[in-house]
Structure 1
Amino acid sequence: MTAGTAGAPTFCPALQYRDAKAAIKQLTEAFGFTRTALYESEDGTVLHAELSFGNGVVMLGSKGNGSPYEKALGAGGPVGVYVTVADPDAHHRRAEQAGVETVLPLTDQDYGSREYTARDLEGNLWTFGTYAPAVPKA
């Protein structure tokens, strides 16, 4: 499937983790992502993984693999990612039950969103809320 076709996001964040397996576990168990791809080296290093949520995808891999992409990123991070969810209260409860650190509490925003922000195991910020940016028609 090519970018821009039904079902394929036109862009997605790409993150690197010191412990990509732990990140995958947290993102799937605490935040409800679905693992859709996983490619590992012979020693078990995560070379590339894809996790989906709604119609979005996050790609991730292990730091320390020496790839040209990793070298271009340099020290990089942490990053912030926003994810639209239908029920932020239920999503927040799930994350809290999994022991995730909430850094900004569940709040009704002036712009109409209800959202919270949590920190993943390696310091990236994930905001989950009802705000859904509009994409202009081409």
Structure 2
Amino acid sequence: MTGEAAGAPTFCPTLQYRDAKAAIKQLTEAFGFGRSALYESEDGTVLHAELSYGNGVVMLGSKGGGGAYEKALGGGGPVGVYVVVADPDAHHRRAERAGAEIVMPLRDQDYGSREYTARDLEGNLWTFGTYAPVVPPV
């Protein structure tokens, strides 16, 4: 396919936060994301950040800039994002230790996944579990 880099995800959720720095801190400390890019304005506003987990990436930035993308979102959210993790029990313990709000406790699902759901500081839901969808060739 044109435009694909080897190993690069083909789509990434994009989120905007009133306090993007606090979101980055929570996503890295509580949920184990790695910060791979951070672009700030001169006043320290997060213009764009990329956080990775496995081969997935979430892109985020600050609300309040008034740009075209923010206007198109129309204040959208909250959203839900699912992240595949190898050890949901350990991941859950880390999130709890960091003070994350767990909204659905660690559980085994009928479809074979072990997972839990947490709410980030601005209301988005993050589910971490073992279910890994199979992506058919297109």
TM-score for the superposition, normalised by structure 1: 0.97
Q: Which runs of 5+ in 1 are unaligned?
A: none
Q: CA deviation at 1:137?
A: 1.3
Q: CA deviation at 1:7?
A: 1.7
Give the letter for the 2:6 counterpart. Answer: A
Q: Which SS does the other structure have where 2:60 is aligned?
A: strand
Corresponding position of 2:5: 5
Question: Percent identity, aligned pairs only?
Answer: 85
Corresponding position of 1:38: 38
Corresponding position of 1:104: 104
Q: Which runs of 5+ in 2 are unaligned?
A: none
- How far apart, in 2, do the equivalents of 1:65 and 1:5 lie? 30
Corresponding position of 1:53: 53
Q: Which SS does the other structure have where 2:51 is aligned?
A: strand
Structure 1 consecutive aligned stretches of length 4 or more whose deviation exceeds 4 Å: none
Q: Which SS does the other structure have where 2:66 is aligned?
A: coil
Aligned length, in residue pairs: 137
TM-score for the superposition, normalised by structure 2: 0.97
Write out per-residue CA displacement over residues 34-84 of structure 1, whole angstroms, 9 at most, x where no aligned residue. 000000001110000000000000000000011100000012000000000
- How far apart, in 2, do the equivalents of 1:90 and 1:32 lie? 11
What is the root-mean-square deviation in Å for CA atoms of aligned residues? 1.0
- How far apart, in 2, do the equivalents of 1:129 and 1:75 lie? 28
Write out per-residue CA displacement over residues 97-126 of structure 1, whole angstroms, 9 at most, x where no aligned residue. 000010000000000000000000000000
Q: Which SS does the other structure have where 2:27 is aligned?
A: helix
Give the letter for the 1:134 counterpart. Answer: V
